[in-house]
Amino acid sequence: MLVLKTESAYIKKLQNGTVTSPKGFMATGVFAGVRKKDKRDLGLILSEVPASCAAVYTLNSFQAAPLKVTKESINTEYKLQAIVCNSGNANACTGKQGEEDAYKMRHTTASKFNIPEHYVAVASTGVIGELLPIEKIVAGIGELMPVHDVVGGEHFSSAILTTDLVPKTTCYEFTINDRTVTIAGAAKGSGMIHPNMATMLGFVTTDAAIESNVLQNTLREITNQTFNRITVDGDTSTNDMVVVMANGLAGNDTLSPTHPEWPIFYQALKLACEDLAKEIAKDGEGATKLVEVQVEGALTDEDAGKVAKSVVGSSLVKTAVYGADANWGRIICAVGYSGVTIDPDLVDVFIGDIQMLKNGQPIPFSEEDATAYLSEKEVMIKVNLNLNEGKGKAWGCDLSYDYVRINASYRT
């Protein structure tokens, strides 16, 4: 168990937590026949009571039908009680029929669990431009039997995957008003990851008491520091979003920025989102390494984030990392076209703890040590612009031969 000190309390990371860990949440996943292989492809998260909610969505102009339905659900009352998600088919660019199918998923789920339709969010992921096998999904919804235990959460996490190699989950526990509060999450994503808002599927559950408007503002702010700081291939998907449900069953006083223990909740939600974001970057299609870029010395935190995202998103940097080539010239090139203010005569660059550029000038370093470091599974690149105190991070992965192989045959 990892314990992180924050303010006057501890935030504990639970190693075996799932979306069912917060009080009052259940989940499950089944094989409905959407995918060609016998794998779970339909998942559900269900809260015992209506929950405050928040969501952020892809900014791709081609937004899939499930996003329209989910936005409509949330905007009706700003409450959710269930999320139903299929993998294997994105239900994107499918016209009027696609919308009807997404609404049918919502209606069928609401009917099965006897809740209002606008308490159901819908999500889909997979191949674009093909109609859902809606009758299989309707039958699959009939088989959903959510449970409170870890197994239910694990089945949900596996049901939402496409080309992902591993499920992505996280869970934190902390104390607010002497009540134990839990935040947990599950995500999918390995390709078409270059978020503008939240290009992926991420689902976060918490038993904290918080109003939807406060949760929405908080999620948007944290997303800009986490999910918006990852990139795998520079493509922004049509479908993806992050949804948070907070059912209040922990029994704490309602949270807001004026609550004395607000920083604890904020930090825990940020940690959960950062964990999921890093797991997505680490599991990028064909990836062999997780790459983290840390930038400091920028004029603002926003500038630092832009530089970090530019570096981690560079195809040339990504291929250099894959080949364990300490080609720092590719790093400063990405810094230079990031669009933020820099002074080339002040920039420092490190790969790991090995400095290669100081005040814009190359300095001697051991190529052997650099190659050995770049051969590890996790790589850190550090850039100091030496202009001010702005700091930021971004995460991504290397670019391998397997990325081309996977995406060249995605539909087959």
| pLDDT tens, residue by residue, 176-193 | 999 999 999 999 975 444
pTM for the full model?
A: 0.80
Answer whether 11's CB lies under 8 Å from 4's CB: yes
pLDDT, averaged across the chain: 89
Active-site residue flag, 199: yes
Q: In CATH, what number does 290-408 get?
A: 3.10.20.340
For residues 39 and 56, what is the distance between their CA atoms, to the nearest angstrom?
Answer: 28
Per-residue confidence at 307, pLDDT binned at 50, 70, 90? very high
- Burial string for 386-412 (b: 16+ CB within 10 Å, else e) reads bbeebbbbbbbbbbbeebeeebeeeee
Beta strand 354-358 pairing with 348-351: antiparallel
Tokens coding 412: 């087959």
> For the chain, what's the residue count?
412
Q: For residue range 214-248, what is the model confidence (pLDDT) as tens digits?
A: 999 999 999 988 888 887 544 445 567 899 999 99
Residue range(s) of every CATH 3.10.20.340 domain in the chain: 290-408
Q: For residue range 146-176, what is the model confidence (pLDDT) as tens digits?
A: 999 999 999 999 999 987 778 899 999 999 9
For residues 44 and 46, what is the distance between their CA atoms, to the nearest angstrom?
Answer: 6
Residue range(s) of every CATH 3.60.70.12 domain in the chain: 2-280
List the catalytic residue out of 28, 169, 170, 199. Answer: 199
For residues 120 and 193, what is the distance between their CA atoms, to the nearest angstrom?
Answer: 25
**Of 362, 17, 349, nearest in space to 204 by CA:** 17
CATH architecture for residues 2-280? 4-Layer Sandwich (3.60)
pLDDT for 194 beyond 50: no
Answer whether 298's CB lies under 8 Å from 340's CB: yes
